Structure 1
Amino acid sequence: MTDRIVVVGAALYDDGRLLAARRSAPEELAGRWELPGGKVEPGERGEDALVRELREELGVEAEPLARVPGEFDLGRGYVMRVWRARLLAGEPKPLEDHDELRWLGPGDLWTVDWLPGDIPAIHALTES
């Protein structure tokens, strides 16, 4: 078994809308959209990483609810695990690695250019 770097992604919902974040860095990902999140630190639980990353990246407090089934290959040894999450406090702002945020209603999910690794996760969200 090879070492994989686990990344958490937040399916952050508010009033039935999903939050999407547009990457500003690194250059090869800039301009594409993703679920906000980040790397799980050694010894950290995925749910705790999700709360920490949303605080750091968006300046919000959120509550992880349920993990979306599956793991999503991001390439180069990275794998993403996604949790549905609920916004508890704060207004999301693009603080790190993003230059725009967008709340997407159910009919708007495919109006942004998702990163390839996020596309299977978005499909899983709509099916679960």
Structure 2
Amino acid sequence: MRPYTEVAVGILIRGDGALLLTSRPEGKVYAGYWEFPGGKLEAGESVEQALRRELQEEIGITIGPAQVWKVTEHDYPHALVRLHWCRVTEWSGAFEMREAQQMCWQHWPVTVRPVLPGALPVLEWLAQERGLAFDPEILRNK
């Protein structure tokens, strides 16, 4: 069995309930797919430390407290990942897309396409919390 790549992921939720999604930059696997921002844990880092570092490096913000909400696993062709999902409602700084990615605040229903497969369960849970129907198939296609 392949080893897991541990990933810290931030679900940034604005006061009006909108979620921040960013596109995967050119040159990366799944380039152009939409995802929640975050990245790999480095040796010795906690999930919160990794998320804090990744969001500063990738999108230029400093986050407030971040607790792990859920943990999922996804088997991509290129990597077996364990995703540590953290809800983030406090941050400071101006958003800067430092990897030439795009960003988009999304209300329900989420309209960006395609969404990275590993993010679909989280979008479904968030929709269920809001009492909304969710069809993951429509987010898989371009």
Coarse TM-score class (shorter-chain normalised)? 0.7 to 0.9
What's the counterpart of residue 106 of structure 2? 104
Q: Which amino acid aligns with 1:44?
A: E
Counterparts of 1:57 and 1:26 in 2: how far apart (Å)?
Answer: 15
Runs of 4+ more than 6 Å apart:
none
Distance 1:64 1:35 in 2: 17
Residue aligning to 1:32: 33
Superposed CA deviations along residues 3-27 of structure 1, whole A, max 9, x for unmatched, are 3110111101122211000112335
Describe the shift of the 1:122–1:26 C-alpha distance in structure 2 as closer, same or farther (beyond 3 A).
farther
Name 2:11's counterpart in structure 1.
11
The yes-or-no answer on 1:20 pairing with 2:21 is: yes
Aligned counterpart, 1:62: 63
CA deviation after TM superposition for structure 1 residue 122, in Å: 1.8
C-alpha displacement at 1:87, in angstroms? 3.4
Task: Kindly indicate whether the alpha-carbon contact (under 8 Å) linking 1:23 and 1:34 is maintained by their aligned counterparts in 2.
Answer: yes
CA separation in 2, counterparts of 1:84 and 1:121? 11
Percent pairwise identity: 29
Q: Alpha carbon RMSD of aligned pairs, Å?
A: 2.0
Report the 3-state secondary structure (helix = DSSP H, G, I; strand = E; otherwise coil) of the residue aligned with 1:120. helix
Unaligned residue ranges in structure 1 (runs of 5+) = none
1:64-100 superposed Cα distances (whole Å, 9 cap, x missing partner): 443222323152222211100123211222112x521
The alignment status of 1:90 with 2:93, answered yes or no, reads yes
**Whole-Å separation in 2 of the counterparts to 1:12 and 1:74:** 24
Give the TM-score normalised by structure 1.
0.85
Structure 2 gap ranges (5+): 130-142
- Asked if structure 1 preserves the Cα contact closer than 8 Å seen for 2:11 and 2:36, the reply is yes
Structure (1 or 2) with the larger CA radius of gyration: 2
| Structure with the larger strand share | 1
CA separation of 1:71/1:64 partners in 2, compared to 1, >3 Å: closer, same or farther?
A: farther
2:13 aligned partner, one-letter code: Y
